[in-house]
Chains A and B, each alone.
Chain A
Amino acid sequence: AQKVTQAQTEISVVEKEDVTLDCVYETRDTTYYLFWYKQPPSGELVFLIRRNSFDEQNEISGRYSWNFQKSTSSFNFTITASQVVDSAVYFCALSERGSTLGRLYFGRGTQLTVWP
């Protein structure tokens, strides 16, 4: 079974629109970690955020914000006032305390295209 589900395969928005990328995860561990990575056209994965299962506080970093809700097993990512440079594939990932620490289970990714 897929541990991380990103149901949105592709999203297109126009610059300055807000966009939310969904991530739903599945784990039996009580201690786990969630990540978001960005993969621009160059191909190199860029770390965006790590959140542990005991910290449900939402986080904001500039135009980026993350909403972690254990009740719905979701860790959604919102980009406010999107820009063309935000165009990339975004991956949500899970690491479980019960398996190899650091081993990441990735979702299939969401291709975000921001049009000028």
Chain B
Amino acid sequence: GAGVSQTPSNKVTEKGKYVELRCDPISGHTALYWYRQSLGQGPEFLIYFQGTGAADDSGLPNDRFFAVRPEGSVSTLKIQRTERGDSAVYLCASSLTQGVNEQFFGPGTRLTVL
């Protein structure tokens, strides 16, 4: 079956612009996670959804970052007023249920803020 997909694969934007990153989890997976991976670092947790609700958004760095999952499937990570420090690979992962199940990761979106 299809894995986790993320679009776009690459996004180049200018400082101050607004961007949206999309994640399509594996069908039937209720848990969805967003992570951010900077160059040479491990992924860092941003936000976790169980169904439609954000169960834990404590990893979002500031209020410029927001994520939604309105129908409990596709999720969108939104970044307002982008800054150069937001440049990173944004990874999405899904798992069958909440808990410490295997997380399946997507290929990521590489965001570059000029």
Q: From residue 84 to 114 of chain B, which have CB atoms closer than 8 A to chain A?
A: 89, 91, 93, 95, 98-108
How many angstroms from the CA of A48 to the CA of B40 in the assembled complex?
20
Q: Decide: A101 and B99 in contact? CB cutoff 8 A.
A: yes
With A45-B43, A108-B40 given, is the CB distance from A100 to B56 under 8 Å?
Answer: yes
How many angstroms from the CA of A46 to the CA of B43 in the assembled complex?
13
Interface size bucket, B side? 20 to 34
B79 interface residue (CB < 8 Å to A): no
How many angstroms from the CA of A45 to the CA of B108 in the assembled complex?
9
With A45-B91, A100-B55, A102-B31 given, is the CB distance from A33 to B100 under 8 Å?
Answer: yes
How many angstroms from the CA of A33 to the CA of B108 in the assembled complex?
24
Q: Decide: B107 and A42 in contact? CB cutoff 8 A.
A: yes
Select B42's contact among A95, A99, A108, beta carbons within 8 Å.
A108
Q: Decide: A101 and B98 in contact? CB cutoff 8 A.
A: yes
Contact string against A for B residues 72-91, beta-carbon threshold 8 Å, 1 for contact and 0 otherwise: 00000000000000000101
Q: Decide: B108 and A44 in contact? CB cutoff 8 A.
A: yes
* Interchain nearest-CB distance for B12 vs A (Å): 17
25 intermolecular pairs with C-beta atoms under 8 Å apart: A4-B42, A37-B105, A42-B107, A43-B107, A44-B106, A44-B107, A45-B91, A45-B93, A91-B42, A93-B42, A101-B99, A101-B100, A102-B31, A102-B100, A102-B101, A103-B45, A103-B48, A103-B59, A104-B43, A105-B45, A106-B44, A108-B40, A108-B42, A109-B41, A109-B42
Binding site for A on B (CB under 8 A): 31, 33, 35, 40-45, 48, 55-56, 58-59, 89, 91, 93, 95, 98-108
Binding site for B on A (CB under 8 A): 4, 33, 37, 42-47, 50, 52, 91, 93, 95, 99-109
